[in-house]
Amino acid sequence: MKKLLLDIHIYASLLCAAYLVMYGVSAICFNHKVRASGEDIQWEQTITVPVAETDQALAEAVRDRLDLIGRVPFWQLSHPQPDQLQFRLDRPGKTYRLILHQSTGVVQVTETRTGVLSVILSLHGLTGIPNSAWANTWGLYSEISIWAVIFTVISGIYFWWGRAGERRAGWWLLGLGSGGSVLFMLYLVG
């Protein structure tokens, strides 16, 4: 039984290793501003303007008609002129600025690449992207990795407890890590 538990411990750790590295790198990226890389690409397309009850629903319907993926931040919706709806569409690596001319159905799109740093940063809390089946698998991988980390921590403590000669050093490390984390959180709150 102990051999099976050790094997699961090792392979669960290997499964979530990439996730932990990406999570750590994306946490570091929060300290740096993400800048656009490259030139803006501008294009336009004429669509049949969908009927929608709200600006948010209309913006999402326009996104779907243009076969784009990404989220529409509600705070980015505006009407620069009575017949226009302007909004932004965000996805990892790209940002779209769209202006819908409601009377003609013309959508003007400005596409900006935001670079690799932006993609890494967006993975930090990504659970899915509207209209993207593949990107939604990252949320599943995140969930599996979180449970794998919890399991490996618990099984690691179990394996450590079985080694009587290393308990003193382990208690010090566990106390410093846990106690230091709690003290840091109390410092931030106070």
**How much of the chain, in percent, has pLDDT values that exceed 70?**
96
From the list 94, 89, 103, 95, the residue with the least C-alpha distance to 47 is 103
Laid out side by side, the sheet with 94-101 consists of 41-46, 106-113, 94-101, 84-91
**pLDDT given at position 36:** 58
**pLDDT given at position 58:** 94
Q: Can you tell me the mean pLDDT for 35-55?
A: 86
**pLDDT given at position 85:** 95
Token pair in block for residue 116: 């690799």
Range among 15-24, 79-88, 169-178 with highest mean pLDDT value: 79-88
**pLDDT given at position 147:** 92
Quick: pLDDT tens for 110-167.
Answer: 999 888 777 877 777 777 788 887 777 888 888 898 899 999 989 988 888 888 777 7
Q: What is the C-alpha to C-alpha distance for residues 70 and 130, in angstroms, rounded to an integer?
A: 5
Q: Answer yes or no: are the C-beta atoms of 96 and 103 closer than 8 Å.
A: no
From the list 18, 21, 26, 16, the residue with the least C-alpha distance to 124 is 26
**pLDDT given at position 122:** 79
Beta bridge partners of 94: 91, 113
Token pair in block for residue 108: 């003007």
**pLDDT given at position 77:** 93
**pLDDT given at position 121:** 79
**pLDDT given at position 33:** 67
Q: Which amino acid is at 187?
A: Y
Q: How many helices (H) and strands (E) does the chain have?
A: 5, 4
Token pair in block for residue 132: 């993207």
Q: Which residues of 166-176 are buried (b: 16+ CB within 10 A; e: fewer)?
A: eeeeeeeeeee
pTM of the model: 0.68
Mean pLDDT (the chain) is: 86
Q: Which residues of 147-161 are buried (b: 16+ CB within 10 A; e: fewer)?
A: ebbebbeebeeeeee
Quick: pLDDT tens for 75-120.
Answer: 999 999 989 999 999 988 889 999 999 999 999 999 998 887 778 7
Beta bridge partners of 95: 90, 112
Q: What is the C-alpha to C-alpha distance for residues 128 and 145, in angstroms, rounded to an integer?
A: 16
**pLDDT given at position 35:** 64
Q: Which residue has the higher pLDDT, 183 or 1?
A: 183
Q: What is the CA radius of gyration of the chain?
A: 24
